[in-house]
Amino acid sequence: MSLNAYLAAAAKKIGIEADEYSEAERTPLRKAASHLLVSGGKRLRPALLMLSADAVRQGAAADVFPAAFGIELLHTYTLVHDDIMDNDSMRRGTPTVHTVYGNTAAILAGDLLYGDAFSYICRAEAAPAAKTAAVQMLSHTCHMLCEGQSLDAAFETRDDVSLEEYLSMVLGKTGSLLAASAGIGSLLAGGTPQQTAALYTLGMNAGIAFQIRDDVLDLTASPDVLGKNRASDLRENKQTIVSIFAREAGVDLSAYHKPDLTEAEISEVISSLENAGVLAKAAAYSEKLIADAKAGLSVFPDSDEKQMLCAIADLFVVRES
């Protein structure tokens, strides 16, 4: 099976489960909690959990599927709360939860998704000790998510964020849940400590690479592809790996921190960054992360699942949206 086919099958299965979840309880709060959950999405995190389980033990994806859905619940919780904090009005082409239901209902909807995520982890077919370890990993991940979000908010008032600080923020906000997705898949499928560590690192590095690619695409991709204004990070003086590497290279971006950037000005910025090697440096950094993570998969024998894990890691650094 190709990676695209695997991802499509996983997304379809998660979508069906999401519909069932939304219909299981017909309360106003469950309706609010289901609003974003049933709106689609790439479902990469549950797919990574299932694929990691299959890499450890072929066919294990069926046993761990409830946990995969639990990961999607937790991911949705983070998006609901992020939209409140960022006051975003649209997500996946649909109005955000707080826009439709109000802040109070949206906060509670996110909390409901958060609690149910742990319940679904425990529904997986796995040894009790493996479930305990998976719950502990997910709990630690939630801690890291909050720390990452806190750092991201703190960076809004600074223009001197270091690469180390940026990576700590990204590890918490983006890398930790992808790491947990892969790690929990391994734990529940009976993976060895070495296999679980390798898969956890793969998810963590893929998450960091995902954010680095996102930082670059925010500047270089077209508005149609982004689904939002181009160069929004630059306009808002957001601390990204692009802005950090630009500062290190002596490229002054301060004149472009304004809401009314023109396409000509954006092209000017891109040219300056390319000439200074900033964009190439960001790409090389993410590519190194993925190469290291893929090398760690040497603890697994060759298999279709291992090849797909390598392919899904590569996807994070070559994606165009």
pTM: 0.92
Over 80: is that where the pLDDT of 147 sits?
A: yes
pLDDT tens digits, one per residue of 27-45: 999 999 999 999 988 899 9
- Sorted by where each starts, the structural domains of the chain and their CATH numbers stand as 3-318 (1.10.600.10)
- Distance (Å, whole) CA 73 – CA 116: 7
Angstrom distance (rounded) from CA 244 to CA 240: 6
- pLDDT in the model for residue 93: 80
Report the pLDDT value the prediction gives residue 215, as an integer from 0 to 100.
Answer: 93
Choice between 315 and 166, residue whose per-residue pLDDT is larger: 166
What average pLDDT does the structure give for the chain? 94
pLDDT in tens, 47-99: 999 999 999 999 999 999 999 999 999 999 999 999 998 888 888 888 999 99
Q: How far apart are CA 147 and CA 65, in angstroms?
A: 28
Nearest residue to 196 via CA among 253, 255, 239, 137:
137
Report the alpha-carbon distance of residue 243 to residue 163 in Å, rounded.
Answer: 10
In which band, very low, low, confident or very high, does the pLDDT at 223 lie, cut at 50, 70 and 90?
A: low
The pLDDT, as a whole number, for residue 229 is 66
Q: How many CB atoms lie within 10 A of CB 226?
A: 18
